[in-house]
Structure formats: structure tokens, C-alpha cells
Amino acid sequence: MGLIEKVPANIERLPGGGVITTSLEWVMNETRASSLWYMLFGLACCAIEMMAAGASRYDFDRFGMMFRASPRQADLMFVAGTVTHKMSKRVKILYEQMAEPRYVIAMGGCACSGGPFYYDCYSVLKGIDKVIPVDVYIPGCPPRPESLMEGCLKLQEKIRKEKISDWASDKKLA
Amino acid sequence: MTKDEIISKLQDKFGSDLEVQQLNQPEPFVYIFKEKYHQFCEFIKKEPDLDFDYLVILCGVHFPESRFEIVLCLSSHEKHHNLIAKVKLDKDNPEIETITDIWQGANWHERETMELFGIKFLNHPDPRPLLLYDDWDYGYPMRKGWTGPDFIPMPDK
């Protein structure tokens, strides 16, 4: 079993048996962190970088990340692009349709804070965190696929630190 | 047709109702009086030498001291020439005839201009709002000096 060699601190080997003991918290966090299926959902030019990150050159599959075309099958939402006031209601509905545990990455300046549309703009929401909770912010206009990967790795770190006692409550991310 | 040929052709037809803007640009820029606007548009579309069959864009401009303007960029697929036509509108009550019956493509441009500038297009076939969200109730955002919810003006202005 290759997994036991990889994580000896977390899984105990029992002599002669097919039974292992480990913590539920570690197993759940590890499985959640290593299969973050993200929603195929792009709003502006950041979505092009997201597509590049998902395609073969940068290859998100090696982190266990695949896109799903439905919010009901997705764990992670990249808010990739400019969110207008008109679109923000739709983004919120999509977020609410995702099953828990659900995570959000705000990708690019527009989704973090309004970006280039911060001043003198009547139509753009000044940051997606006014509408839905955000786990990781990635600056850039647009961020390169490497930045997006770094953000995903940060999110994985965050998921691995979750406590079992927080699952039922709102403060799932300690 | 060259720039000068287009201008002289239009001046022959409209005379003093037309005002040519002398700019160092490859296209002719003309102001047409509001009363002759619809007739002007019909003429430049149907006249075989001009043949402006394509309305590239129709948009509004706000000059807060004096007036509104609408600007039409026109092009011809056959003749490969362009024209910029402008109309000056009243400051307090901007309204003008629709040209959707001449170029179908004007429909959404006029709806957008109606919504963002508050310029009224008379006899428009479908004068619903186009772009802003459904419960928008904050006026016309492209007018100068407009403020609304979540609007942050540029600090050095």
C-alpha cells in the first residue's frame, strides 16, 4: 500500500491485519482537498486563463481537479472575471446550488475588489465578497495559470486544517 | 467615394440643414439638423452613390452645459467608405425620431441609448430597457455628474 508509506504519521499499520486506524478528520480533509471539482463558470477574460490552467499544458487534473458543468456536482467555484450587479444575483444562486462543503476562489482584480472598474463605474460589483464568502483571493489582471494553481494549493492547505468540530457550524475554516 | 465627394453630395441635397465639421480625419464628420434627421438617414441609405447599408454604431454624448448629441457611424459594404453623422438634441428634453425602420440594427443601440442617457426615441418598436438590472431606479448612469449606489468617483477629479 503506497499510501501508508506516504503518510506514516497519519495511518498506523497493524501487524498482520488488513485493518488500519487513522483519524476521520484526516481522511475527510485529504479526500476533499485532493478532489476539488470546480464549476465550469467564467465571466470575463480571467476565464481564458482558467481554461488554460485546466487544459493539457498546465493540467489541473494532476491535483484531482476536474471541471463539472453543474453546480450540484462542484465543490469549488472560481469567480473568474468581472461581476456586474446584474450578474451578482445569478452568481449567488449558483453558489447556493452547490452542495456543502463548498469553496470559492476570487480570481483576478475584478472579483477581488472591482479591479479596473473600481472608480467611475455604475455597473460592476466592487468585490464578489459582498455577495458570497471567499476562501482565497488571487490578484492579477488576469492572473497567470501558475497563480491560479498557487491559489488552489493554498486552498488545499486550508482544507487540510479544517476541524471535525467545525463541520456543522459556519466557521468550518479555522 | 472620397471624403470631399461625399460632403459635396450631402451639401447639394441638404444645404444649410447640414453642418460639416472640419477635422483631420479620413471620414467626413457632419452635423445634421434634428428635423431632417430621418430624411437624411433614408437618403444616405437609398442613394446608389452613397449606399450606407451598415450602421456600425449609434450612441449618445452628454454635454452638461449645452446639449445632448447622438452619433452615428455608418459604413458601406459595397463602396468601402464611412461617414460619421451627429445630431444635436435639446438639453432638457432630448428626443428624436427612431431609425429602426431604416436600419434594423439600430433597435438595440437606441434601446441602450434610451436607458443610459435618457434620450427618447419616438416611434421605437420596442422601447424596453436593455442592459441594466430589472429593479434599476437610479436614473441615467452615463449622464455627467450621475451618482448612484456603490458608485465611487475618481478621487483626483
Q: How many beta-carbon contacts under 8 Å exist across A and B?
A: 28
With a cut of 90, say whether residue B16 has pLDDT above it. no
Confidence band of A10 (pLDDT split at 50, 70, 90): low
Tens-digit pLDDT profile for residues B55-105? 999 999 999 998 999 999 999 999 899 999 999 999 888 999 999 999 999
Residues of B in contact with A123 (CB under 8 A): 131-132, 141
pTM exceeds 0.90 for this model: no
The whole-number pLDDT of residue A14 equals 67
Residues of A in contact with B153 (CB under 8 A): 119-120
Is A123 within 8 Å of chain B by CB? yes
Across the interface, do A122 and B152 touch by the CB < 8 Å criterion?
no
Alpha carbons A38 and A66: distance in angstroms, whole number: 6
The whole-number pLDDT of residue A174 equals 37
The whole-number pLDDT of residue B49 equals 87
Confidence band of A171 (pLDDT split at 50, 70, 90): low
Which chain B residue lies closest to A121 (C-alpha atoms)?
A: B151
Average pLDDT of B32-48?
91
Confidence band of A1 (pLDDT split at 50, 70, 90): very low
Tell me which residue in A119, A123, A126 faces B153 most closely, judged by beta carbons: A119
Lowest mean pLDDT among A51-65, A160-174, B139-153: A160-174
Q: Assess whether the previous peptide bond of A142 is cis (omega < 30° from 0).
A: yes
Query: Which chain A residues in 49-108 lie under 8 Å from chain B, judged by CB atoms?
Result: 85-86, 89
